[in-house]
């Protein structure tokens, strides 16, 4: 199988290479793709050296699947060109997520919507992925009316430049700034640009993507997204109002049985999800589960996942695995 990774030298791209290796994805020909500046340089994959391709070289190679993590403008220009040669494109940018003709997929939730005609498939926002993985089984049982989510997002979600800014600040080095403000010892209540309604683009992504993935426009979602000086994963405080009442033990049982979710909810032993423990893992961790005592049928919980893995690279590879398992990629 010919597999292209577009943006192979980036933060998410490098994790894609790790995940492909760990999952032993059936790669018979590997096509790493980077900018024209980087083309011709070498990159390691499975202990072998490969030459970085330009976008056009990769299209000409006619890969079976291309995993994209190179930004929205690149995806808008090049994803259709890959699709035209019969390639399945799984795109990690926001370019295609809300396109009505494209599927937005978290495999454990809605992979069944995919067909052989879906040549461009959108990978959701990292914060949305981890939230819907927990929401979906609870929605099936109790029917969600409204979700209020506040996120505490790692600097790795911005990229290498942001990680470097934080490290520079911690070491007293003046350097390039990824954010308008200092991030170390700080919390910045802005992720992406502000929109006319006062919300940020990131916040509205969570609102719209949740409805699309879960296939239910009746679910009300409101979000506040905050950048904090951590690595290892994004954290979310989620308040969920259901139409039906619930039993807490039943909630624990449902989440324990949910594929891709790990319950960490033993407060007697101070066990709860944290980026420190989610770092490098593919699962979504959930804990601090408790009834909201301020109103009926409402639940509070805390969700953490490695945003570079399940929030990006792992989800992308899982979509590719599904396509292979269903015989859509041959």
Active site residues: 126, 234
User: Which residues, other chains included, contact 247 with Cβ-Cβ below 8 Å and sequence gap of 6+?
Assistant: none
For the chain, strand residue ranges (E) read: 2-6, 29-33, 42-45, 48-51, 65-68, 88-91, 103-104, 120-122, 144-153, 220-227, 234-242, 261-263, 284-291, 298-305
Hunting for tokens 């009316």 — which residue is that?
A: 145
Separation of alpha carbons 102 and 114, rounded Å: 10
- Cα separations in angstroms, 145 against 131, 221, 316: 15, 9, 29
119: tokens are 């040549």
Find the helix packing angle between 314-325 and 11-22, rounded to 10°.
Answer: 40
Burial of 221 (0-12, 13-18, 19+ CB in 10 A): buried
How many other C-beta atoms can be found within 10 angstroms of the C-beta atom of residue 292? 14
**Token match 């403008």: residue?**
73
Buried b (16+ CB within 10 A) or exposed e, 132-166: bbbbbbbbeebebbebbbbbbbbbbbbeeebbbbb
Q: Are 104 and 213 in contact (CB under 8 A)?
A: yes
Q: Which residues pair with 302 in a beta bridge?
A: 237, 287
């Amino acid at each position: 199988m010919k597999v292209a990774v577009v943006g192979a030298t980036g933060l998410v791209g490098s994790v894609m290479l790790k995940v492909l290796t760990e999952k032993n994805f059936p790669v018979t020909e590997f096509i790493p793709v980077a900018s024209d500046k980087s083309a011709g340089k070498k990159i390691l994959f499975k202990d072998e050296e490969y030459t970085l391709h330009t976008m056009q070289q990769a299209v000409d190679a006619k890969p079976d699947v291309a995993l994209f993590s190179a930004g929205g403008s690149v995806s808008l220009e090049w994803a259709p060109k890959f699709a035209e040669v019969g390639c399945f494109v799984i795109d990690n940018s926001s370019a295609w997520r809300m396109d009505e003709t494209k599927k937005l997929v978290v495999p454990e939730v809605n992979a069944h919507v995919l067909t052989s005609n879906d040549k461009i498939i959108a990978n959701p926002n990292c914060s949305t992925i981890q939230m819907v993985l927990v929401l979906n089984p609870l929605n099936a049982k109790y029917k969600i009316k409204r979700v209020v989510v506040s996120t505490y997002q790692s600097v790795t979600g911005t990229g290498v430049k942001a990680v470097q800014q934080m490290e520079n600040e911690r070491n007293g080095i003046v350097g390039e700034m990824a954010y308008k403000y200092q991030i170390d010892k700080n919390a910045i209540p802005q992720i992406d640009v502000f929109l006319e309604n006062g919300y940020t683009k990131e916040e509205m992504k969570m609102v719209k993507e949740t409805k699309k993935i879960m296939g239910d426009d009746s679910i009300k979602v409101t979000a506040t997204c905050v950048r904090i000086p951590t690595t290892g994963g994004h954290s979310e405080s989620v308040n969920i109002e259901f139409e039906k009442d619930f039993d807490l033990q039943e909630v624990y049982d449902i989440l324990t049985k949910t594929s891709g979710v790990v319950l960490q909810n033993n407060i007697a032993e101070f066990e709860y999800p944290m980026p420190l423990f989610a770092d490098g893992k593919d699962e979504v961790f959930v804990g601090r589960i408790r009834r909201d005592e301020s109103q009926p049928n409402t639940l509070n919980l805390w969700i953490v996942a490695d945003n570079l893995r399940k929030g990006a690279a792992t989800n992308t590879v899982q979509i590719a695995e599904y396509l292979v398992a269903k015989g859509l990629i041959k």
